[in-house]
Each structure stands twice: as structure tokens, then as C-alpha cells.
């Protein structure tokens, strides 16, 4: 299964290298960028080969965990590539869809209709807890010897991220977060300030549709229900708060959430169908 994750990572790097070359006129450093992506793709294959030759266990550990470290780096790159050759027209369309469906944009009026600091802190806590889901659940499976579950988790999460990132690059959408943040009475409190600090310094413009928070957390929740039902029960309140927080905190439109759900169920469903047919 780890080799499947390698193939997903390599395929993503090769695809983005091809996009960089196709749109080279918009990137002054296209040769360097394309080369780095192709070298990265080759490196993932090399790690798998080195591991098969029974090299030290440290190589195996790096091979197992490198996607967890690589994915945030690739996320930051999304903004750079999206600004270079992405089609930004989808932002206005999504805003019009929201207004038609809801008589306005829930991402803007929800926090005004629910001006409760306790609710805000809980929702922002749920939102930031997302950063721990993969390392905690994946780490538990990894270090307790449940490597099949670990590698399946990493493969499905990597696949979901890859699709998200390609959509962000080609059809970037500005988050409602670029409009004024909810502000008072929420600012000045721990989790609100923490989330908005992380979003301001670690976010990538264009990465709104579909919501990766929703798609990735849904994939992780579905796998947790399959293998660790007790954990899944505890995750459910966090998951519900996280999904609601994406709109309440002005990080995503409702249609971003719907697209995130659709993507997650498509990927997990496709994999389960593959397992049955295999």
C-alpha cells in the first residue's frame, strides 16, 4: 500500500510539472520548478526501491511518513501556481450560487446571527483540531503495528489532497476569509485568534473549493468508523464542529463543504469498490 501512496505523490508531481511546462510563459522560473517536481517524483520511487533492498529502518520510517511532511509544502505552492495560470472566474460564480440558494452568503451572516463567544471558541477549537487528526490517528495505527490501516489512511488522504490541490491550481477560489473577518465579539479569545493567525500565515489563496478541511476529515472519519469505532464516536462532535466552523469562521462557502463531502465519498467509495472487485 505504501507503493500506492508513492505512485499518487509521483503522479501529482509529474502532473504539476506538466502544467508548469504548458503554462511556462507565465512563470519565469519554469525550468527550475519543473525540474524540482520531476526530481521529487523520482525521489519517491527511489525511497520505495531503497526500502525493498532492506536498508536501515530509519529509511522505512521516512518512507512511511514523508507524505505527511510534503503535503503542507505542496499546499503553499498551490497559491503560487494558481496566481500564475489559474482561472479565477469560479469565485464569482460560487458567490452567486450561494446568494441564490440562501438569500445571501451564510459565510458572512452566520457569525452575525450567532454572536456567542463560547460557540465561536468551540467551533474554532474543532477547526484547528483538524491539524492533529492525521498524525494522531495515523501515528496510533503506525506505532501499534496496524500498518495496513496506516497505509490505507495515508493513501486515501494523499489521493484526496492531490485532487484538491489540482482543482485549487486550475480553478482557484477566493475564500470568504479575504472579506472582513468576523471580528468582535470573537477576537481576543484563544482559539479564534489561533485559527486566524494560522490561516493568515499558513493558508494559500485559492484553496477554498472544495474544502480540504471537510474532504480530508471526512475520509479520516470514515476510515476511523471502519477500524476504530470508539475513536470515531469521540471524533463525531469535533467533526460536526469543524464542518460548521468552515462556514461560521468565513473560511469556506457552503458549496465548498458540499464539494468536500462529494470528493471524500467518491474517493473512499471508489476504493471500497476496488477492494470488493480485486
Evaluate whether 255 touches 244 at the Cβ level (below 8 Å).
Answer: no
Please list the pLDDT of the chain residue by residue as tens digits (278 residues): 557 899 999 999 999 999 999 999 988 889 999 999 999 999 887 776 666 665 556 677 888 899 999 988 999 999 999 999 999 988 889 989 988 988 888 988 888 899 999 999 999 999 999 999 999 999 999 999 999 999 999 999 999 999 999 999 999 998 886 566 676 788 888 998 999 888 878 778 889 999 999 999 999 999 999 999 999 999 999 999 999 999 999 999 999 999 999 999 999 999 999 888 87
Q: What is the DSSP letter of 173?
A: B
pLDDT digits (tens, 9 = 90+) for 109-142: 888 899 999 999 999 999 999 999 999 999 999 9
From the CA atom positions of the chain, what is the Rg in Å?
19
pLDDT digits (tens, 9 = 90+) for 39-51: 999 988 777 666 6
In this prediction the pTM is 0.93
Evaluate whether 160 touches 263 at the Cβ level (below 8 Å).
Answer: yes
Burial profile 223-255: b = 16 or more Cβ within 10 angstroms, e = fewer: bbeeebeeebeebeebbebbbbbbbbbbbbbbb
Q: Which residues contact 76 (CB under 8 A, 6 or more apart)?
A: 202, 204
pLDDT at 276: 87
Evaluate whether 254 touches 98 at the Cβ level (below 8 Å).
Answer: yes
Q: What is the largest CA-CA distance in the chain?
A: 61
Amino acid at each position: 500500500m505504501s507503493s500506492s501512496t508513492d505512485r499518487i505523490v509521483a503522479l501529482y508531481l509529474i502532473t504539476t510539472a506538466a502544467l508548469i511546462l504548458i503554462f511556462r510563459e507565465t512563470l519565469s522560473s519554469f525550468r527550475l520548478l519543473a525540474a524540482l517536481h520531476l526530481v521529487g517524483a523520482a525521489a519517491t520511487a527511489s525511497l520505495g526501491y531503497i526500502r525493498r533492498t532492506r536498508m536501515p529502518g530509519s529509511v522505512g520510517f521516512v518512507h512511511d511518513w514523508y507524505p505527511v511532511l510534503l503535503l503542507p509544502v505542496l499546499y503553499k505552492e498551490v497559491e503560487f501556481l494558481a496566481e500564475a495560470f489559474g482561472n479565477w472566474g469560479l469565485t464569482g460564480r460560487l458567490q452567486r450560487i450561494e446568494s441564490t440558494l440562501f438569500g445571501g452568503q451564510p459565510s458572512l451572516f452566520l457569525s452575525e446571527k450567532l454572536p456567542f463567544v463560547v460557540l465561536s471558541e468551540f467551533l474554532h477549537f474543532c477547526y484547528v483540531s483538524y491539524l492533529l487528526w492525521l498524525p494522531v490517528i495515523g501515528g496510533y495505527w503506525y506505532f501499534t503495528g496496524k500498518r495496513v490501516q496506516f497505509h490505507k489512511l495515508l493513501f486515501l488522504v494523499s489521493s484526496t489532497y492531490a485532487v484538491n490541490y489540482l482543482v485549487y491550481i486550475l480553478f482557484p477560489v477566493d475564500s470568504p476569509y479575504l472579506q472582513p473577518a468576523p471580528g468582535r465579539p470573537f477576537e481576543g479569545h484563544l482559539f479564534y485568534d489561533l485559527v486566524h493567525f494560522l490561516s493568515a500565515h499558513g493558508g494559500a489563496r485559492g484553496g477554498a473549493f472544495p474544502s480540504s478541511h471537510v474532504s480530508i476529515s471526512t475520509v479520516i472519519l470514515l476510515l476511523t468508523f471502519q477500524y476504530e469505532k470508539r475513536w470515531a464516536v469521540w471524533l463525531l462532535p469535533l467533526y460536526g464542529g469543524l464542518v460548521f466552523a468552515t462556514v461560521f469562521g468565513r473560511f469556506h462557502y457552503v458549496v465548498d463543504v458540499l464539494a468536500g463531502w462529494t470528493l471524500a465519498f467518491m474517493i473512499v467509495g471508489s476504493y471500497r469498490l476496488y477492494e470488493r472487485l480485486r
